Amino acid sequence: MRNLPSLNGLRAFEVAARCGSFVLAGEELGVSSAAVSLQVKSLENHLGKKLFVRKGNRISLTDAGEEVYPKLARAFDELSKAADVVRGSKRNRQLVISVLPALSELWLLPKALSFQDQSGASLDIRVQEDPIDFEREAVDMRFTYESTLYADYRQKTLFSDVAIPVCTPSFWAQYSDPEGTLANVPDTKLIHNNWGPSYASEPNWSDWRREARTADAKLSGPSLAVSDTALAISAAKQKAGIALVPSILVKREISSGSLISPSEITLPMKKSYVCIYPNARAEFSTFRLFLEFLGLSRT
């Protein structure tokens, strides 16, 4: 007869590993966190291996836990699928994607729509500022600007970028200069991007002027300041002035000619854009497909 561990213990371990917390696991299972801890402890005794490192209220998987969790997650996923077949359910779980506002419309949405057309996947896209709570909000993956806010999660670099000045061709026809230093652009026509509430050190017009070696890097004062990159781009398209924005987010506009970058002077973005996700989500099939669609491997 097989010496199988308790199903309750296996379930408690799977949920705790996925949630990253005994408290959250208890909420999902409808029991106390102490009960989850006891069930996991019983499973560890049965296996003769420690599955979690416990640090106060925080837990993380040991090497043994990392080894067993994917297999167990797949097994429970198969059980769930079998139950759906019995119930006649044809519903597929949505892939819940959280995205920084600046990346939502200009970068993520075209890719998400293309992926949905190809795969038929169900997507739930949430536009959110940092930080988010992966577990409480049931988020599978987060696209954002590199941050130390998610040190306990997996992180993959999407791309690095430079900030470039952009404006409409007609705007540049009015304020152009042969060197591309924007010497003829009044301070009142510089659109200031504050990069959102979580960031304070990204490129600004004073930095750009210093790089361009203009006579005076100081600014007389902004006429328009926004805290959303997409809005800065939209303002430039509406001829409000010239904006300093990540180049990746204006590729489409520059290609179509609705915007131009009138200078070769660029500033490196301080960090990279990244995809962040809990390790437990990596076994979700639609998650794996979307990572592959984006050209990202899980390893």
Phi, psi of 61 (to 5 degrees): -70, 140
Q: What is the CATH number of the domain that holds 114?
A: 3.40.190.10
Our measurement of the distance from residue 210's CA atom to the centroid of its chain's CA atoms, rounded to an integer in Å, reads 32
Phi/psi-derived region of residue 167, left when phi > 0, alpha when psi is between -120 and 50, beta in every other case: beta
Do 127 and 107 have their domain in common? yes
Contact 211, 268 (CB under 8 A): no
pTM for the model stands at: 0.61
Do 156 and 166 have their domain in common? no
Of residues 109 and 81, the one with the higher pLDDT is: 109
The structural domain count of the chain equals 3
Q: Of 87, 112, 128, which residue constitutes the final position of a domain?
A: 87
Do 149 and 277 have their domain in common? yes
Report the largest interatomic distance among the alpha carbons of the chain, rounded to a whole angstrom.
85
Do 213 and 257 have their domain in common? yes
Determine, yes or no, domain membership for 260. yes
d(CA 229, CA 245): 7
Highest mean pLDDT among 43-52, 167-176, 246-255, 265-274: 167-176
Do 138 and 276 have their domain in common? yes
Determine, yes or no, domain membership for 51. yes
Q: What is the pLDDT of residue 93?
A: 73
Do 260 and 167 have their domain in common? yes
Average pLDDT of the chain is 87
Query: What pLDDT digit, counting tens, does each position of 104-160 carry?
Result: 988 999 999 999 999 999 999 999 988 898 988 989 999 998 878 888 888 999 999
Do 138 and 286 have their domain in common? yes
Number of neighbouring beta carbons within 10 Å of residue 212 = 17
Q: Of 87, 120, 140, which residue constitutes the final position of a domain?
A: 87
Determine, yes or no, domain membership for 1. no
Do 72 and 18 have their domain in common? yes
Q: What is the pLDDT of residue 281?
A: 79
Determine, yes or no, domain membership for 167. yes
Do 221 and 185 have their domain in common? yes
Determine, yes or no, domain membership for 27. yes
Phi, psi of 72 (to 5 degrees): -70, -40
SS3 string of the chain? CCCCCCHHHHHHHHHHHHHCCHHHHHHHHCCCHHHHHHHHHHHHHHHCCCCEEEECCEEEECHHHHHHHHHHHHHHHHHHHHHHHHHCCCCCCCEEEEECHHHHHHHHHHHHHHHHHHHCCCEEEEECCCCCCCCCCCCCEEEEECCHHHCCCEEEEEECCEEEEEECHHHHHHHCCCCCCCCCCCHHHEEEECCCCCCCCCCCHHHHHHHHCCCCCCCCCCCEEECCHHHHHHHHHCCCCEEEEEHHHHHHHHHHCCCECCCCCCEECCCCEEEEECHHHHHCHHHHHHHHHCCCCCC
Do 124 and 76 have their domain in common? no
Q: What is the pLDDT of residue 173?
A: 97
Q: What is the CATH number of the domain that holds 27?
A: 1.10.10.10
Q: What is the pLDDT of residue 72?
A: 87
Residues 6+ apart with CB under 8 A from 193: 202, 204, 225, 226, 227, 229, 232, 243, 244, 245
Do 260 and 115 have their domain in common? no
d(CA 258, CA 172): 12
Among 15-19, 45-49, 221-225, the minimum mean pLDDT is found in: 221-225
Bridging pattern class, strands 242-246 and 162-166: antiparallel
Q: Of 87, 109, 140, which residue constitutes the final position of a domain?
A: 87
Q: What is the pLDDT of residue 247?
A: 94
Query: What pLDDT digit, counting tens, does each position of 166-186 carry?
Result: 999 999 999 999 999 999 999
Determine, yes or no, domain membership for 299. no
What percentage of the chain reaches a pLDDT higher than 70?
Answer: 90
Do 261 and 124 have their domain in common? no
Instruction: List the domain range (segments joined by +) for residue 45.
Output: 7-87
Contact 126, 97 (CB under 8 A): yes
Q: What is the pLDDT of residue 102?
A: 82
Determine, yes or no, domain membership for 298. no
Predicted confidence (pLDDT) at residue 56 exceeds the cutoff of 80 = no
d(CA 70, CA 41): 19
